[in-house]
Amino acid sequence: MAAIPSADSSSGSSADRSDERSADGSADRFPGRLPRPPRPPRLPLVERVEELLAAGGPLPIVAAGDPVLRQGTRPYDGELGPALLARFVAALRLTMRAAPGVGLAAPQVGVPLRIAVIEDPAPVPEEVALARGRVPQPYRVLVNPSYEPLGPARAAFFEGCLSVPGWQAVVARPAEVRLTRQDEQGRALDEVFRGWPARIVQHESDHLDGLLYLDRAEPRSLASNEAMAERWTQPTPHEAARELGFGLPE
């Protein structure tokens, strides 16, 4: 903490200081402070995506706290054009794999378009795969996805997020969903997902609505990656629920 100057060390009275004005003519609450530089203008989407791709390699992933993760997205309507869209989703895939993760949404790299990618090789033990309904998923591009639950069944498991690094929490989600979307070629698709794949498409679609998994999580289940590795490696979160004091769906 910086030292606070005594009352007689400042020049002028408090009334004089309160009259100091900022560059736009409004009263400056902190006289003597340099004026805040103007925010850089937001680039149009095409320029923003081109700028992201110019560096090559994996894209920087936006962390929780950035407004772009909370503002929702606009439906994709050809804004990028076929060639730039192909380059952008390829960069999303590269970034997802490098992280590594099983899904990545456009807002997670600072682009507010309704686009995401998913892919899951499911490299887990058989016991875990059976308990979680986790089966390998091929690479898919989700353009303008929307999901609806099929039936009342819900499943609860720990989830993590590339935009909330270092933490996991239990989220109860519909066990089966219907996902409508387009692919990167504009073809309309209607698919049913169950088990872990259903969780992935819900998680990524939520990103496009300005939601993080923590918004749906059991608060008492929040655990660091270190705690997960030490304590909660079981195929299901039942032991964690007993020890940490949270409920699970019937």
Judge contact between 107 and 62, C-beta under 8 A: yes
The verdict on whether 204 is a catalytic residue reads yes
Give the integer Cα–Cα distance in Å for 110 and 68: 6
Q: Are 240 and 223 in contact (CB under 8 A)?
A: yes
Task: Please state, in angstroms and rounded to a whole number, the distance separating the CA atoms of residues 144 and 201.
Answer: 12
Helix (H, G, I), strand (E, B) or coil at 131: helix
Residue in the block written with tokens 């003519």: 25
* Alpha-carbon gap, residue 152 to 173, rounded angstroms: 10
Helix ranges (H only) for 22-135 are 45-54, 81-98, 126-132
Q: Which of 159, 176, 204, 218 is catalytic?
A: 204
Give the DSSP letter of residue 240: H
Three-state secondary structure call for residue 191 = strand
What is the spatial distance between Cα 113 and Cα 75, in angstroms, rounded to a whole number? 6
Catalytic residues: 204
